[in-house]
Structure 1
Amino acid sequence: MSNSSVSLSAEKHYLFNKKLTEITLLAMSIFVLPFLIYVNFFSHMQDVYSPAIVKSNFILLCIVTLVLVLIKFISYTFKRIIILGLIFYIAGTGFMLGSIELLSITLVVLNTYTILTSTLKKSITIMAYSVLVLILMPYLLHHEILTFYYEAAAYHSDYRILVIRIFEALIGLGFVSSLIYAVNQNNKSIIEQLEKEVNESNLLNKSLVREVAERKKAQMQANEYAANFISLYDNSYDGFMILSKDNIIKDVNQALLDITGYDRNEMIGKDGIFFLSRESREIIERINDGDQEKGIFNLLIDAFDKYGKRQVLLTQRVVINFEDSVSFLVVLKDVTKQTLAQDELQKRELLYRTLFEQINDSILIINGAQIIDYNSVAKSLYSDIEKNILDNVPYVNLEKGVIEFDESLDLHLTIQDAIERKVDTFEWMHKLPNGKPPVFTLVNILPLKELGVNHYMIVERDITDRKRNQNLVLNSIIQTEENERKRISSDLHDGIGPILTTIKLYTQALLDAPTEEKQNVIKDKLINIVEEAVSSISDISFNISPHILVNYGIVAAVESFIKKFNITEKLHIEFKHNNVQRIVENKEITIYRLFTELINNTLKHANATKVGFTIEEKENFIELLYSDDGKGFDPELVTSNSLGMGLGNLKSRVQAFDGQFLLRSAEGEGMEVHIKMPKD
C-alpha cells in the first residue's frame, strides 16, 4: 500500500474519532446533566451522601455545564480526557454506591467508546479490566469486604432510588443510541464515500480499459510502423545512418554501405562525418555548435567513398527522443549524377549566355509579338527593345528589290508573313537614329519547338561590310568595263583607225592608178596593211577575252601573257605553279584580271625590275602569291590615291568569292600580295 493511501486512511480514522468523541461528550453531558441536577437539587438525599460526594457531584455538575457551553472550543484531546474522567467518575460512584447497574452501564460506555476510538490492544486491556471489576464487585459485596454508605437493600422501594436507576438506564440508553447514531452516520458517510469511490473506480476502470485498448491499438500501429521502418531502412535506395548524441555511428543500412563502399565494421563506432569533405565537415560542426538537436533538411554535402571518389549527398537529420536518450536518424540520398548533370547544365548555360552575349550576331527570342530574350547586339539595333514588344521597328525590306528609306514596317507582322511563306532567310536594312548609317543584316528565323508553337529565334548577321564590298565590286566592275571600253576605243582609234584610213587611201589610189605596175605595188601594200589590221584586231580581241584562258585555263593564259610581255623587256616575270587543274570559269577570269591588274600597278607605281607570281592548288582552295622588288609603300597612306583605289577593288573582288586578301609592303621593300580563294 502506498504512503498516500495510508495517510488518507489515518486521516479518515482521525476524523471519525473526532466526530465520535464530540457526539459522546455531547450525549454524556446532555444525559448526565439532568441526572446531576436531580441528585443535587431534587432528590433530597444530601443527608444520605457524604459531604465529599455532594461536593464532587456539584463540581461535576459545573464541569458538565461548562462543557456544554464551550464544547465547540474544546480540543479533541481535552474532550477525550473529559469523557474518560466522566466515565471513571460515574463508574467509581456506581462502585462506591454498590450500584451494579450504574457500574455496568458505565463500563459498557467505556468499552464501546474505546473499541470505536482506540487501538485493538487498548480495547482488549479495557475489556479485561472491566470484566475484572464486574467479577470483583459481587465478590466484595458478598463477603462484605467493602463497606458502603448505605444499605443497598434498604432503598429498593424508595422512589428516589427508582428515579436514579431510571436516569442510569436513560444515560446508558442515550449514550448507546448516540454511539449507534454516530456509527450509523459514519457508516453512511463511508458508504457514500465507497459508492463514490466505486463509481470513480468504475470510471477509472472504463478509462483504463479504453486506455489499454488504445495502447494496444497504438502498440499495433507502432509495430506496423516499426515493421515499415525496418523494411524501408533495409530496402531503401537511400542511405540511413543512426548516430548517438555525440555523433558516433551506431548503425547503417546496406544502401549507405553501397554508396560509400565501406564495410559495416569500418563505419560502426566512427565519427558520423569522417567520410565527408573538409568543407562539409565544417558546415556540420557549425550547425552542431549552434544547436546539436536541431534538425537538418535538404543539405547538400560532399563526401568521398572508400576509394576517394567524390559523392554528392542530399542530407536530412531527424532527432529521435526515446526513454530520456537522444539519437539522430540521418538520411543520405546519392545525388551525384544529378548534381554533376546540374553542374554541367550550369556550365552549358554559362557558355550559352557567354556566346549569346559575345557573338557578333543579333539574337532575339520571341513568343508571338513578345520579346523573351535578346543580346547586347540586338539592343544596339533596336532602340526600343526594352519594351519587349516587336512593334514598329524601323527597317527596310530588301526583298522588295527597291529600297524605300522612309518605310517603317511592323517587324512582328513581317516575321509572321515570312513564317507563313516558309521563308527562313532574308535581308533587312535597319535605319538607326541620330543620322547613323544604316545597318544591313541577313536574317534567319529558327523555330524553337521545345519552348512552344509560337517561339522563334531571330538571328541577324551584320552584312554591312559585305554589302559595301559588293558595291565596291560592282563599282569596280563598272569602272573596269568603262576602262575596258576606253582602252578598246583607244586601241581601235589609235591602232585600227589609222590602218583603216590607210586602207581607204590605198584603195582610192588603187582605183586611180594609171598603170598596172602602179596598181600591183598598191595591191601589195594594201595586203600588208590589211594583215596588220587583222593582227591588231586579234590583239584587241585577246586583251578583251583571251581565247587561251577560255580554251586552256589560267596557267596557259598567264604563260601566254608573260611570253608576250617579256618581249618588251620592261619587267622580268617569274611564274610558278603546281599543275593547276581547270576551276570555275568566273574564278579563272578573276584570277587572270587580278594578275594583269597587279602587273599594271607594278608598271605604273613600283619602278620594279622583277615580279614573281605563284599559283598553287590546294585541297579546297587556290592560293596566289604575287611579289615585286619595287620601291614599296605604306599601305595606310595610299587608300585615297589611284593605287589604293585599285588595290581596294582587287580586295573587294576576292572577298566577293569569300576569299582572303593580304597585302604586305613598306618603303623600299617592294610589295607582296597573298590571296586565298575557295575552289568551288
Structure 2
Amino acid sequence: MNDEHLHSVHQALQQLRDRAEMRQHLVTQSVSDAVPPDMRRLVQELQVHQIELEMQYEELLLTQASAEAATRQYIDLYDFAPVGYFTLTADGLIQQLNLRAAQLLGTVRQRLQDRRFALFVTMECRSKFLEFLVKTMSSDSRHTCELDMLREDGSHFFARLEGLAMLSAAGIKCCRLAVIDMTESKEASRALEASEARFRLLFEQSRDATLLIQDNYIIDCNDSALKLFNIHYKGELQGQHITIFAPPTQPNGKPSAEAAAAHTAEALSKGWSRFEWLMVGPNEEEMWAEISLTSFSLDGQSILHSVVRDITVQRGAREQLRREKEFSESLLDNSVDGIIAFDAQHRVTAWNQVMEQNTHKTEAEVLGKDIFDLFPRHREGLEGEAVCRVLAGERVTHYNLKLYGRPGHFESYFVPLLNTEAEVEGGLVLIRDVTERVRLAEEATQLKLRQQQEVHSAILTTQEEERKRIAEALHNGVGQLLYATKLNLENRAGGNSSRVSALALLEEAIKATRTISFELTPGILQDFGLKSALEELVKRIPHAGLHVHLYMKGDFDKLPQQLEVSVYRIVQELLNNIIKHAKARETFVHVVHEDGHIFISVEDDGQGFEPAQAKAKHSGIGLTSIRNRVDLLAGTLSIDSRPGRGTIVSIELRVK
C-alpha cells in the first residue's frame, strides 16, 4: 500500500514540476513594449510569486505524504502487532490499546478504554499485578511478570507482562504495557513437568530392574535393580560399566564387552533393542536376564533406558521343553499323520515330515511363527475357532478341512496339550489323509444310489403302465358308453327339461372322464413330447382362477422318457399346490434344458409360507411327493418363501 501511495505522490509532483517549468517559461517571455514599465514589472513579480507558491505547495504535498506513510507504519507496528499493547495510568486505567490487546481480552476497544486493567486479572493474581504496576511506575527500568488473566466471557489465559514507565505527550507519567499470550507455552511446560514426574514415578516404582545408561556407564537405577543385584545403595552401581556383572565371554563365545557395545549401538541407531544376557551375581551364581534397551534424548545427550528381567527359571524351563520337543519330534516324524503343535500364543512348536511333504514348508521355516501367518485364510474360519476351543481345553474334530494345498479328504483332530498342573499350554493338530476311505465310501454311495434309481425307475414304469391302462379303460369303456348315451338321448323325439338336464350331466361326465384320463397319463406327452404336454397342462388351468406363464428353453426332444414323466409330474404337482394353497393370481413356470441339466423354477405371487414349518408338517402343502421324486432322481430342491411375499421353488435334475 505504501509503495502505491508514494508512486502516486511522485506522479503528482512530476506534474507540478511540469507546470512550474511552463510558468517559468511565461516569466521569461517579455511583455509588449506598449505596456507601461510599472505594469510589466508587476506582471513579472506576480508570475514569480505564483511559481514560489506552487513550489511551496509541492513541499507541502511531500510533507503530507511522509505523514501518511508514518501513520500507516504506526498502524502496522501498533494496531496490527502480534502482541497486545496497553497504555495505563498510574492508577491502572486503560488509556489506549491496540487490536491484539482487545482480542486478548475478548471484547472491542471502545468497551475497554478507561476501565481498570486489574478487572481482567484473576483474584489470585491481582495483588501481584498491583505490585508489578507500582514497581514499574517507580523506576525507569523494564519489569516483567506472569499472570493468570480473564477475558470478557470469563475464560482464562496465561500472559506475560512487560512494563516500562513513560511520559505521555501531556507530560503525565504512564505505563507502556506489552501483554503476550503464554497459554500454549505454559500448558506445554506443565505437561512436560507432569511427564517428567510420571517418568520418575514409573522409574522408581517399577518392579522391573531399571537402569539409565550414558556412554556405556550406569548413571542411575531404581530400588528393584538394587534388589536384583543384591546391592544396598545406588552409589555402588552409579558410574560402573554396563558389563559389571557379565562374565568375560558370553555362551556364544563373543566377549561380553564387545557384545554389550554392539547391543547399545543397535539401540542408539534403531531406538530399541532386546536380547538375552548371561550375568554373574554377587554370589558368583549365573543368572540369565532379558534386557530391553530404549534410546531417548535428554538435553541433547543420548540416554539408554534399560529394563532387566531375571529369566533364569524361564530359560531353564525353555531348555527342558526344547529337549522334550526334540524327543517328541523324533517320535512324530515317524507318524503317518500330519502333526502340528503350537503354544498358547499360536506359535508353532512342532512340524513333522508329513507336514513338510504336504505343504512344501520345512520345519526351520515355520517354527516359532504364528500358525495363522502360515494359514492366513483360516484365521476367521472353522480352523481359527478350533484353535481357540483347544486353548480353552476342549477337544475338537473336523472333517475335510483344507489345511493342505493339494486335493483330497482329510480329518483334523485338535487336542489340547496340558502341563503338569493340568493347565493348557498349547495344542496339537493331527491331520489324517482319508481320501481313499472317502473314495470307497463314495463308490458305495453311488452304487446304493444307482440301485435306488433302478428301483425308482421300475416303480415309475409300473405306475405309468397302470395309469395308461386305467386311462385307456376309462376312455374306451366309460367314455364311449357315456358318449353313446348322449347320442341316444339326442335322437329321442320331443325333448323336455329332464332330457336337457340329462344331456348336460352326460356332457360333464364326458369332460370329467377325459380330464381324469389326461391327468393319469397325458397321451400328448408320449405323442408330442414334454413341451407340448406342459403347454396343454397350462391351457387346461382356468385363467379366471390363476394366470400361468410358461417359458421353456432348450431341446426337450431327446430326454429319457422317465425324466420327461418326472418333470411333467413335478410341474403338475407344483401347479396343483398353487391352485389349492397359494391363493395366487399369477404364476411363472420356467423349464430350461442346458449343460446336461434340467432346471425347473416355479414362482407365484401367493400368500407364501415358512419352509421350515412346512417341512416339519410333512403334509398339507403337497411338497412331499415332489421331494421324493427329486431325491430319487439325485436332484436338488430349494424353496424361497415368506408369508405374504409369494414362493419360488427351484429344482435341478441331471440328465443321464
TM-score, length basis structure 1: 0.35
Higher percent of residues as strand: 2
- For normalisation by structure 2, the TM-score amounts to 0.36
Higher relative contact order (CA 8 A, sep 6+): 1
Structure with the greater alpha carbon radius of gyration: 1
